[in-house]
Amino acid sequence: EPEVTQTPSHQVTQMGQEVILRCVPISNHLYFYWYRQILGQKVEFLVSFYNNEISEKSEIFDDQFSVERPDGSNFTLKIRSTKLEDSAMYFCASRRSPVTDTQYFGPGTRLTVL
Amino acid sequence: QQQVKQSPQSLIVQKGGISIINCAYENTAFDYFPWYQQFPGKGPALLIAIRPDVSEKKEGRFTISFNKSAKQFSLHIMDSQPGDSATYFCAPSSSNFGNEKLTFGTGTRLTIIP
């Protein structure tokens, strides 16, 4: 069964450094998402992406964040200058089309900012 | 108006019993009501979902009950098994030009004891 994959599984970085989290969505999916989950808290929406542009972003997704689909398979989340409060589990999700509801989630990347 | 409240926070049920988790929402624009299941170290996975044109949907041991006037929906797990031990999230969304970002509840940690 096709699945969303994410790399790395765990990323440790120093405050102020740039990180890139990578996702490979399911191949025939058209809608892509990033969510995050701070330890012990709920999953929060960050950004949605369709047709090579951001379709919606949350208040969390400020100028330090960017997303890109650099080729036909990868979907990346970049945090330009990490802060301690960016420490969280980051989940990528994808959805096939407007008429299908299910979002399929990857296993997540645990980001630790020191 | 985006708030989604989930209860209880944690639940312990005996094997073979019925597990019931509730979700209350405020946004009347929500028109898709899924429950996601998450095991430790994994991303959320869709368990069962309902659209507001029906009040109940059953898939095997899992049932969603939906009360539009009360703005609530619930997950019932019949004949609960140890393998059902996981964290459950309600995550309603609204159709918005196909975007459909999920708004997660705070989660319920379910433990099934022998």
* Partner-chain contact A101 B49, CB within 8 Å: yes
Chain B hits for A93, CB-CB cut-off 8 Å, are 43
- DSSP 3-state of B83: helix
Span B4-113 CATH architecture? Sandwich (2.60)
Give tens-digit pLDDT for A52-93.
999 999 999 999 999 999 887 899 999 999 999 999 999 999
Number of domains in chain A: 1
Give tens-digit pLDDT for A20-60.
999 999 998 999 999 999 988 889 999 999 989 999 999 99
- DSSP 3-state of B46: strand
Q: Find the closest chain B residue to A100 by CA distance.
A: B98
- Which DSSP category does A40 fall into? T
Closest partner residue to A107 (CB to CB) among B36, B43, B49 is B43
Per-residue pLDDT of chain B (114 residues; tens, 9 = 90+): 468 999 999 999 999 999 999 999 999 989 899 999 999 888 999 999 998 889 999 999 999 999 999 999 999 999 999 999 999 999 999 876 566 889 999 999 999 999
Element of type H or E holding A12 = strand A10-13
Count other C-beta atoms under 10 Å from residue B71's C-beta.
15
**Interface probe, candidates B30, B95, B100, B103, chain A, greatest A C-beta count within 10 A:** B100
* Residue A50 domain boundaries: 5-113
The domain that contains A76 carries what CATH number?
2.60.40.10
